[in-house]
Structure 1
């Protein structure tokens, strides 16, 4: 247990350092994030994520303090890793375990990243619906990370405890993801809208708190006539957090189909969340060009749901983490490639 606490503490300190770096690089001036800044930070986070994958591939066994065949067998059985332990060869067994752990992280990271892209659509609608100035986008997204980390931590470790105690929950998660995937496919062409005046968060805040009626620079709170009031920017932050909470309900069960190890689920989630905050500024202007992405995400959720329901059958027939990774990458590649090959045709105005 001490190894797990130490590893998790070190990871959280590392993430805090990344956020401070992000704050120092992006938030020095009260200005919009440039494409160059967003690109550099996105590449940096992706490289760090791949570096963490390499760390897990060689030192993943250190998370749970695996130093014997008995301990390895205990961890593999608890988290249901699809590997075969060689009883008289600890070194080789650990190598297989670490390799699979790295693949689980990479696959979970990719799934979370892909599903979070859909989140960008909603955040863009929120920003435009509330009239948030582009120079304040980063401030809202940056502080939104902290709430997201806390919520994901609670969701993941509570979810892992429930799965350990009630394995049938996997079937519930699977059915829910299939339902979500089918619904996403049916609603793929539906136009989403944000009504600032009638949004539940806005109505609740106006009823229970003092809310200022206009933006005041990049401030979340302002004092007027001796009364402290929320600004619309703080309401936007709450809505972004609420949106992330809704998306977590889909994405976290999806990653539990890849790995039952809550630490790997948490690590992959956090790297994807941080990466997508910087990726937001790159994708914001072009995300609508991926016309088949919704179909790809719907297929992805459906596949993961089916995998959760039939996991015993798939495990017995040798369906490994590598196979999951191949299927997921193929779905995403096809949806993006077809979007670029067959862009949506816009009607031309014909002048008579």
Structure 2
């Protein structure tokens, strides 16, 4: 599939236009999106991605179309998993909910820029060194193993080396000033936590790119397909964050599914590298006669694994318990530290009450474990005490 410069520039202009539309019509004015708003716009962006894929299927043929959809689904699944880390970062930095949209859009734009750079680098390496497929396959197998490591949101630090460096070099404020990146305190200009959280998001985006780009190159080496599948998987991620709020933590088996997919693609890459082998110490530099995994089979495996892991997560009692506990912890933290708008705080507290009611309806074995979590119980007690104090002091 040869892509003309006109098609490239038209595609880039369309993606930039969608991002600009997102900013000026949704993000510029700080607000908390409703579920219906998030659902409509998430569906719209997915629809655009699917229509684009149908266009690729018609104009470039079934093989290229299958490569696009396999790449899009893989990158979308990885993006959903990345939302968990975004959630941890914004909770740790106590970002007011109305301002989270701007942080997410910045993360999407930075991620798109970073991944574009990695795509160009990856394409150059593949065209120059055939052994890069071995390296990419190994990276994916290691990443698959790392994904299976337990993730504890309470112990995860959002402060990567870039954030620590920024704190050390520049004055930073402990308080937000709306969605401003800089503020003036006691006559001194300093950074706000809003800028720091964007730095944290940007730093994690670079790490995400190191995982996702080898994955999609394992499905297709067509640079245009790699770029568009990656770009469309990121578009709409902001809306998806608010749509999946309360479900992100419930997808308890998604990490197993992603690990299986990345390991599968890693094996696929290594088999392809063996088939194209020119490394002197492997089979004396001659290609190895091995079975290669086709794009059609890859697409079936990716869809099948995602469907199984998502359904298993949603119907499992463990998933329901984890979801409720995580939501209660998050809303108690928001009530105590993040929100200043009285209406938003009251809405957060109502959600917390609803989640506590669901906790009491869980099977005893889960309730017993929850009662043993001292930090969680203390957090809930503090939220109730502060709410009672506010009600008592209100006229």
Q: State the TM bucket, normalised to the shorter chain.
A: 0.7 to 0.9
Residue 107 (str. 1) matches residue 70 (str. 2): yes
- What is the CA–CA distance in structure 2 between the aligned matches of 1:11 and 1:315, rounded to whole Å? 39
Q: Where in structure 2 are there 5+ consecutive unaligned residues?
A: 276-287, 322-361, 372-395
Residue 254 (str. 1) matches residue 219 (str. 2): no
When residues 256 and 161 of structure 1 are mapped into structure 2, their CA distance, relative to the original with a 3 A threshold, is same
Query: Would you say the 8 A contact 1:171–1:309 is kept in 2?
Result: yes
- What is the CA–CA distance in structure 1 between the aligned matches of 2:135 and 2:181, rounded to whole Å? 39
* TM-score (normalizing by structure 2): 0.73
Which one has a bigger Cα radius of gyration? 2
Query: Would you say the 8 A contact 1:124–1:284 is kept in 2?
Result: no
Q: List structure 1 runs of 4+ shifted beyond 6 angstroms.
A: none
Which residue matches 1:5?
5
- What is the CA–CA distance in structure 1 between the aligned matches of 2:4 and 2:155, rounded to whole Å? 43
Which residue matches 2:381?
none
When residues 155 and 283 of structure 1 are mapped into structure 2, their CA distance, relative to the original with a 3 A threshold, is same
The structural deviation recorded for 1:15 is: 0.9
Map of 1:213-232 to 2, 5 A cutoff?
Answer: 213-224=174-185, 227-232=188-193
TM-superposition CA deviations, 1:268-313 (whole Å, max 9, x none): 0010011322211111311111111111111111111111111255
TM-superposition CA deviations, 1:94-141 (whole Å, max 9, x none): xxxx22111111110000001111111111010111100000110111
Which residue matches 2:44?
44
- What is the CA–CA distance in structure 2 between the aligned matches of 1:192 and 1:178, rounded to whole Å? 27
Instruction: Select 2:131's aligned residue among 143, 168, 183.
Output: 168
Q: Where in structure 1 are there 5+ consecutive unaligned residues?
A: 61-97
The structural deviation recorded for 1:224 is: 4.4
Query: Would you say the 8 A contact 1:26–1:37 is kept in 2?
Result: no
* TM-score (normalizing by structure 1): 0.82
> Any idea what SS the aligned residue of 2:64 has?
helix
Query: Would you say the 8 A contact 2:160–2:200 is kept in 1?
Result: no
Q: Which has the higher contact order (CA 8 A, sep 6+)?
A: 1
The structural deviation recorded for 1:150 is: 1.5
Which residue matches 1:137?
100
Which residue matches 2:91?
128
- What is the CA–CA distance in structure 1 between the aligned matches of 2:35 and 2:257, rounded to whole Å? 26
